[in-house]
Every structure is written in structure tokens, then in C-alpha cells.
Amino acid sequence: MTDPSPPSTPRQTWLATLGWAAFLAASWTWCIGMFLPVLLVRDFAAWGFVVFAAPNVIGAAAMGWVLRRSSDSTAIVQAHRPALAAFSIVTITFQCFFAVMVLSRFANFFDELQALLYALFFVASLAAFFRGGKWAAAAALLASLTLFALYLSAASWPAISRWPVHGPLLTGVTPQPTSLVWLAPVTCFGFLLCPYLDLTFHRARTSLDPVRSRIAFGVGFGVMFLAMILFTLLYSGEFFDRPLSSDRKALAFVLVHITLQMGVTVGVHAHSIARLPRSNWRSLGLVVTALAIAAVAVLALPVSGKLRGLARMAIDPSFEDGYRLFMSFYGLIFPAYVWLCMIPVRGETGTQRPSIAKLRAFAIAVALAAPCFWMGFIERQTWWLGPGLFIVLAARAMLPRAKAGGPAPRTD
């Protein structure tokens, strides 16, 4: 196997390293970081945020240490290119689903702002796709941190004071104290493994030497991304079915932040697909970007007209169910792939293209665990997550051992 990256990574300045840190934080701030804490805080108060934030920050930052050489990252991209492309495509689709719901349901309470939000999403998506550089993402991160400060200055009182404590009227169920015990291992499983399927992470890793990689990943997630999800923590109370009154200006800043980051996410992931070797991947990146923008333009406008009514920031049950179904990719399917198909088995000298045996174990494990995850996430019976996760973890015992020094992935 040959490493297509330069033989010696060009020396990075500290400013460039911080630029990559900002790129990582911006590329990872999407509709999970900007909305999942809202649901977890609603259901579990502050501990829900801890269960989300700790494995998220640690898992993403750890990639800078786990992949010691740029060739490790290159090998993953070469061996698992379809899976990484699928991760980006699902992520782009997730952003579009979320954009339609946000722009159509919440932004219609701000008639003077709605056109700006549509334009911002389209411009951010296209700019991130065609430029795709770390400085474009860093500019988006700086803009969101500025919106964070503006929100704090405009909010009439801290949103944190409006957190409910396990409000059954909001969720339809009363979470049990043990719910987080079952949820925490699943969030750890997802957030610790999903980063290795993110093309934007691999782009940063292959562009940095080992020391600066650790700095970029550490600062990017331990400082910058953490600040972004603290923003989510503060505004989470705005979505708890509160009538809009004096906080309209503060909520406008939140919507601009969400729209900007969704657009950047669509653009950088489509750009990353387009950077994959072979021209067909480049074409796919452009097609995915165009379809994403078209979907939001076609769907959000008609839906918006049907949702006008009492100005309340309520979370629609159908929206939440759809959101939770998308989360199954990041809680089950993608981390299961990393666990069963990407992590080397005994006898392998590094990550390999998934064999038929690995793919079979992956498919069986996901099929058996999916009903458990449905019961845990959609039906809210979280104890089902325990056996579901156990099925996936135990499926690794189905993988055959490889012969020492197995073949390296092809470099085509």
C-alpha cells in the first residue's frame, strides 16, 4: 500500500493548525449537536446533556491520537470508501430533512427573516462546496460564536431556567431514573466510533503532522466544538412549547446559527465526496449538493404555508420521530460498521476492505438489533437499548481470524 499524501507533510504554522481546529469544529456542528441536546435536556434535564457531550467531545478529539500517522487515515479512506461516502450522503440528507422542518415550521414565525434564512442555507452550502477549505469553515464557526454572544445579550432571561424536569406533557411518557443508564452506553458507542467514517476528519488528519493533529483535534473539539454545543444547551429551553414574546430577537440569532451550520455541513461533506479519487465521485459530490439544495427549496416553501398558526416553538411528534429514525444511523448502523468491518481482527496488520464474512456479521447484527433500538428510541422503552447494543458487540465473536500479514487494501 502506498500513501498518496506527500512523503513529508508540509510544516504547519500554528495559525494553520488553529484553522484546521476550527474546520473540525464547524464540520462536526450539525443537526445532532444543534438539536439532540434539546431532546435530551427536555427528557433528562442537565444529565442528558452530559451523556451527550462527554462521549461526543472525547470520541471526536481522540481520533487525532488514535490515528498516529496520516497513512492510517489514508488506509481507512482507501479500504472503506463506499462506507465513508454513505456516511456523508446520509449526513447531507439528514441536514436537508432538518432544514425543511426548521425553515418551514420555526422560521415562518419570522416573516422578515425567512427569505434570509433560505438564502443563507443555499449560499453557505454552495460556498462550502466550491471552496471547501478550512478558512471557509472557520469563518462559519466565528459567525456562529458571534451569534452565541448576540443571543446571550438579547435573551430576556437565561433559557436554562426554562428546562422542565421530566415533563410527561412534553414527551408523552415519564422517563425513569434508569433510562440514562441504558442510553449512555449507546451514545458512547456512537460518538466514539462514528468519527472514523467522517471524510472531513480524515481530510484534516492527512493534512497535519502527528503533533499538530493532536492539537487541532484537541482544541477543535475540547474548546471550539464544546463552545458550540454549550450554545445548544442554553437555547434548548426555547423549543419547549413556549409562546414567542420578548425573545423573538434572541430566537432569530438561534435560527441563523442553525441554518448557517446546516449549509456548511452540506457543502463540506459534498466537497469531501468530490475529493475522493476517480471522477465519478466528483460528479456524485456535485449531484448530491444540487439535490440537497433543490430538496430544501422545493419542500420547505410548500410545507411552510401549511404550518402557519399560533407562534409556538413546539416540537412536532412526527418531526421528532423522523429525527430519531435518522439518529439510528449514528447510534446503530454506522458505529456497528466501524466495530465489525473497520477495526482489525486478530491477524490483520491494519484496516482492510470488509470481507464477505464481516459484511454478513454486520448485516445480521444490525437486523437483530434494529427492533431493540426501535423500542428504545421510538417507543421510549430505553431498557431495550441494552440487549440491542449487546447483540452488536457480541457479533464481533462471529468474525473469523485473519492470517498474519493479510493483504493490504488496493490503492485504486
pLDDT digits (tens, 9 = 90+) for 322-344: 899 999 999 999 999 999 999 99
Which sequence spans correspond to the domains of the chain? Answer: 14-188+195-319
Residue 28 φ/ψ region, left for φ over 0, alpha for ψ in the -120 to 50 degree band, beta for the rest: alpha
Q: Which of 290, 12, 254 is nearest to 125 (CA)?
A: 290
User: Which residues contact residue 170 at a Cβ distance below 8 angstroms, ignoring those fewer than 6 apart?
Assistant: 42, 164, 240, 241, 315
List 312's β-bridge partners, or say none: 243
- 265-322 pLDDT tens trace: 988 888 888 888 765 655 666 666 666 666 666 555 554 444 444 445 567 778 888 8
Q: Per-residue pLDDT averaged across 191-210, rounded?
A: 93
List 243's β-bridge partners, or say none: 312
Predicted confidence at residue 122, as pLDDT, reads 81
The answer to whether residues 165 and 47 touch, using CB atoms and an 8 Å cutoff, is no
3-class SS at 312? strand
pTM of the model: 0.85
Whole-number Å distance between alpha carbons of 294 and 290: 6
Instruction: Name the pLDDT band for 410 (thresholds 50, 70, 90).
Output: very low
Looking up cell 433510562 gives 179
